[in-house]
Amino acid sequence: MELVRNDIAPDYTMITSKRPRKNPNIDWKIGSGFDVFYNPGAFPLIRVFHDNSIVARVTVKDIDTDILPNASPVHIVGVAQIKSAYQGQNLGLELYRNLITKQNWALGGYDHSAGARKLWARLSMEPEIVVYVYNAHTELTWDIPKIKGSELNLSKRDIYNGTYDYLVAVHKNGAADRYIKNRLSISLKTLKKKSQNLPNA
């Protein structure tokens, strides 16, 4: 379950209270004085510190190399948490935007909380980001969701049923975006060809 408005668990804060040593190859800054530390390991983890205090963390539950072959692995978000004192400051949006546009990640997510749904809808409004829906059941089926209320929506099905659909956010005009646009083009051509071959009523 992807969350965005929960306090970091006290036991986690105790374990990670010490600020990690910075590695310039995989760590970076966002916003005003926030340091991001990425531990790629067996259980990938992103931690955000302000001064010496941890203020947010994002777990990556999977890195899928099959969704966007020859383009970019999709980092599937597990749990995203922001300390209550830092909520409402667009820290989650800033982090996701940075991951996609600066670190060139294709970011994926499913089984979203209400807060996460709003965050992904806001991501879709960023000029440098495109959010798609990938259906893992039909394979290589892509759709472009629209904003309805405060969340993304597809008219044909519920994308939040937690069964097959992923939201995938990519850098506009990047390799991943070009790959998806190509798949959409092929799908539209296939549908058009099928409709032309249907017998007249």
The token pair that represents 38 in the structure block: 């990425």
Quick check: 12 pLDDT over 50? no
pLDDT band, residue 14 (cuts 50/70/90)? very low
pLDDT for the residue 160 = 83
Look over the chain and give the mean of its residue pLDDT values, rounded to a whole number.
Answer: 81
Interhelix angle 91-101/114-124, rounded to 10 degrees, is 50
Distance (Å, whole) CA 58 – CA 79: 6
**What domains can you pick out in the chain, each with its CATH number?**
10-196 (3.40.630.30)
Burial (Cβ within 10 Å: 0-12, 13-18, ≥19) of residue 173: exposed
User: Could you tell me the pLDDT band of residue 25, with boundaries at 50, 70 and 90?
Assistant: low
**Predicted pLDDT of residue 159:** 86
Q: How confident is the model at residue 191 (pLDDT cuts 50, 70, 90)?
A: very low
